[in-house]
Amino acid sequence: MTGLNVHNLFPRSAFVGFDHLFDELDRVAKQAQDNYPPHNIVKVDDQNYLIELAVAGFAQDELTIEVKDRSLTVSGEHQNRGREYLHKGISARKFNRTFRLSEYVQVAGADLIDGILAIKLEVIVPEEMRPRQIEINSNARGVTHDNTNRQTDNTSFLTEEGN
């Protein structure tokens, strides 16, 4: 099926205030067509991820990593070293690869080893957003099952009254 896009499935006129979502879907759809440089996204555990990009032929100073507005952008621009190639099978073309980061994902660092650029990502949820234990009081004073506040010494307040 040709011509399938977000606008055909979900016309913008039907959704008010969702422009940012449609723009994001368009951006992702366009980027899905470009597979350079090849990359892996690895889930190390629930809080850690790793993005690996194959950047053979690029030196560390030819690569840039930038985080802005929850987008991680990796760019590479190969510097001409004055070589004369009889055959060039290793691509070293200029690239710009963007990854959209979730709300609490932060870049923890990056390494370039053996032609693989590894970017470490960590999910850091703020303390106030983390699950927490709520203490259950063993004392039922002042609380009843019908939401009225009254003093009672009966610790079985969840049973029917009069039982």
Give tens-digit pLDDT for 90-146.
887 899 999 989 889 999 999 999 999 999 999 998 888 888 888 898 866 655 556
The pLDDT of residue 20: 72
Q: What is the pTM of this model?
A: 0.66
CB 9 within 8 A of CB 1: no
For residue 138, the 8-state DSSP code is S
Task: Identify the CATH number of the domain defined by range 36-79+89-146.
Answer: 2.60.40.790
Rounded to whole angstroms, the Cα distance separating 39 from 45 reads 19
- d(CA 44, CA 154) in angstroms, rounded, equals 51
**Digit-coded pLDDT (tens) for 41-62:** 999 999 999 999 999 989 999 9
pLDDT given for residue 73 in this prediction:
95
| Average pLDDT across the chain, whole number | 81
**CATH 2.60.40.790 in the chain, residue ranges:** 36-79+89-146
Distances in whole angstroms, Cα of residue 56 to Cα of each of 50, 88, 93, 115, 155? 18, 13, 11, 4, 71
* Residues 6 or more apart whose Cβ sits within 8 Å of residue 157: 140, 143, 144, 145
